[in-house]
Amino acid sequence: MAHRVTLIPGDGIGPEIVEAARRVIDASGANIEWEVVEAGEKVMAEYGTPLPEYVLESIKKNKVALKGPMTTPIGTGFRSVNVALRKALDLYANVRPAKSLPGVVTRYENIDLITVRENTEDLYAGVEHMVGDDAAESIKIITRKASQRIVRFAFELARKEGRKKVTAVHKANIMKYTDGLFLAVAREVAAEYPDIEFEDMIVDAMAMKLVQTPEKFDVMVMPNLYGDILSDLCAGLVGGLGVAPGANIGDEYAVFEPVHGSAPKHAGQNRVNPLAEILSGVMMLKHLGEMDAAAKIERALTKVLPNKDMVTYDLGGTAKTSEMADYIIKHL
C-alpha cells in the first residue's frame, strides 16, 4: 500500500524546493501518495489564520507530513506556524542531524551529530508579560514529564541508529530548579540504557567544545532554547542552514521540514538550494520504512554534490533549483 503523506508547499521559496523534493522522492521508487494542502501567508486573507484547521486534519489523518518553510506573520495571533503545529500535534521532539556531505566545503570534515531538542516548553512556552512599564518577564517551564520523554526519545534514537553516546546539555549550575530538574531526569533515564554512554555538559562549554572537538559528540539532548541555538551551530559545521534537514516527531505524528526559513526575496527565481528539503524527505522516508528509496537518494547525492555544474549557486555551482533536482533524479 502507498504511504499517504501531507505535503505543505509553504511560503517564499517553499513551493520551489518542495516540488524539487517531491520529484526526487517520486523518482526514488518510494510508494508515496501526496495530499497537498496550503498553509502560511497565502491563506491568511481567506481563513484569517496561516494554519487552517484542514491542515491539522490532514496531518492527523495521514500521520506524516513534509512541509516547506513558512513566513511567520507579523501582528497576528501566531508567534510561528511551526510552533503552533508542534503544540497542536504534540510534536515534542525536534531532531536535527548535522552530517558532512561530499562536495560541500567547510572548515570541518567527518561531522556526524544529531541534536534532539525538546519542543514544547522551556522559554518557548511563551509565558511572558510586562511588569509595569519598564520590565518584562518570561517564565521558563521545565517539567518532569517532558524531560523524561525527550531524554528517552534521544536514547531510543541512539539505540536505533547504532550511536554510542548521549550528551545532556543544560545550565543546571545556575538554574538549579529548572535545568536542575532536566539534568536529574536525564541521569535517571540514562540509567535505563547501560549500553549507551552518557555524559552531561553545561551549555556554554558545549558551544565551545562543538567548535573545538565536534568529533567527540554523537547524540545531544537538551531543552528548547539551547536546542534552537546549538542545532544552528551544528549546521554551521557542515555548511549552513541550506544543508540542514529537520523533523518534528511525537508519539502519533511526524512533520519533516528544512531548518532554514522561507527567504521571500529569492522566491520564484528557481535558484535556491533544495538540499535541506530533500534531506528532510530522506528522513521522512526512513521514518516510513522506505529504506531502499532513502539510500538511493543518499547515493545519488554523493555523485551530484561534488559537481559544481549540478548544484546551485550557494553550493558553488551554476544549476537552477529544478536542474539540481533533475541531476539527482538522473543519478538515482
Residues 187, 189, 190, 194, CA torsion sign: positive
CB 8 within 8 A of CB 66: yes
Task: Kindly report the number of other CB atoms within 10 A of residue 72's CB atom.
Answer: 18
Give the C-alpha separation, 186 to 144, whole Å: 10
Residue 178: predicted pLDDT: 98
Per-chain mean pLDDT for the chain = 95
Strand partners, 138: 128
pTM over the 0.75 mark? yes
pLDDT digits (tens, 9 = 90+) for 205-256: 999 999 999 999 999 999 999 999 999 999 999 999 999 999 999 999 999 9
% of the chain surpassing 70 pLDDT: 98
The pLDDT of 111-132, averaged and rounded, is 94
Task: Report whether pLDDT(146) > 70.
Answer: yes
Residue-level pLDDT at 42: 85
The per-residue pLDDT for 79 is 61
- Alpha-carbon distance of 164 to 224, in angstroms, equals 23
Ramachandran angles phi, psi of 222, nearest 5°: -165, 165
Q: In this predicted structure, what is the pLDDT of residue 74? A: 62
Q: Which residues are catalytic?
A: 124, 171, 204, 228
More confident residue, 139 or 125: 139
| Predicted local confidence at residue 12, as pLDDT | 94
Where do the domains of the chain lie, and which CATH numbers do they carry? 1-97+244-331 (3.40.718.10), 107-237 (3.40.718.10)
Q: In whole angstroms, what is the distance from residue 81 CA to residue 60 CA?
A: 16
What's the whole-number mean pLDDT along residues 187-196? 98
In this predicted structure, the answer to whether residue 49 has a pLDDT above a threshold of 90 is no
**What does the pLDDT read at residue 45?**
82
* 116 φ, ψ (degrees, to nearest 5): -110, 115
Region 105-117 average pLDDT: 96
Tell whether the model's pLDDT for residue 75 goes beyond 80: no
Structure-block grid coordinates of residue 288: 516510513
pLDDT the model gives residue 285: 98
Type of residue found at 42:
K
Amino acid at 274: P
Burial of 30 (0-12, 13-18, 19+ CB in 10 A): buried
pLDDT digits 0-9 by tens, 82-101: 888 998 999 999 999 999 99
**Phi/psi at 13 (5° precision):** -75, -5
Please count the other Cβ atoms lying within 10 Å of the Cβ belonging to residue 229: 17
Question: For position 80, what pLDDT does the model report?
Answer: 76
| Percent over 90 (pLDDT), the chain | 89
Q: Give the span between the Cα atoms of 9 and 264, in whole angstroms.
A: 13
d(CA 78, CA 101): 35
CA distance 275 to 17: 8
